[in-house]
């Protein structure tokens, strides 16, 4: 997946978790947990969905790299 595809996927998944928000309008460096007001269960659901959509198992130790859109894009490109 290229950068734009990853960001679109992440936005779609986050919009499903926080339907009253617009993740696409987030700054790339904003903490999605703060900006979208999602809690640890929401974030876990996001990681599960991201893993299923990309076929990757994301270790818990890597969660901190997924707190921003830029981080998510960089992590999934690797």
Q: Which listed residue (4, 25, 41, 78) binds another protein by CB under 8 A? A: 41
List binders of another protein among 54-73 (CB under 8 A).
57-61
- Which of 1-9, 35-43, 69-77 is the region at the interface with another protein (rule: CB under 8 A)? 35-43
Instruction: Give the interface size with another protein as a residue count (CB under 8 A).
Output: 21
C-alpha span between 42 and 52 (Å, rounded):
15
Q: Is 59 helix (H, G, I), strand (E, B) or coil?
A: coil
CA angle 26, 61, 34 (to 5 degrees): 25
Q: Which listed residue (25, 34, 64, 78) binds another protein by CB under 8 A? A: 34
Report in angstroms how near the CB of residue 51 gets to another protein at its nearest: 6
Residue pair 36/43 in contact by the 8 Å Cβ criterion: no
C-alpha span between 77 and 20 (Å, rounded):
28
Q: Taking CB under 8 A as the rule, does residue 25 contact another protein?
A: no
Q: Taking CB under 8 A as the rule, does residue 51 contact another protein?
A: yes
């Amino acid at each position: 997946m290229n950068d734009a595809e990853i960001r679109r996927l992440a936005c779609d998944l986050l919009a499903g978790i926080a339907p009253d928000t617009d993740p696409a309008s987030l700054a790339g460096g904003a903490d999605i947990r703060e900006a979208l007001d999602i809690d640890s269960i929401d974030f876990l659901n996001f990681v599960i969905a991201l893993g299923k959509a990309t076929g990757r198992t994301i270790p818990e130790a890597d969660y901190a790299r997924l707190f921003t859109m830029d981080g998510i894009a960089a992590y999934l490109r690797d």
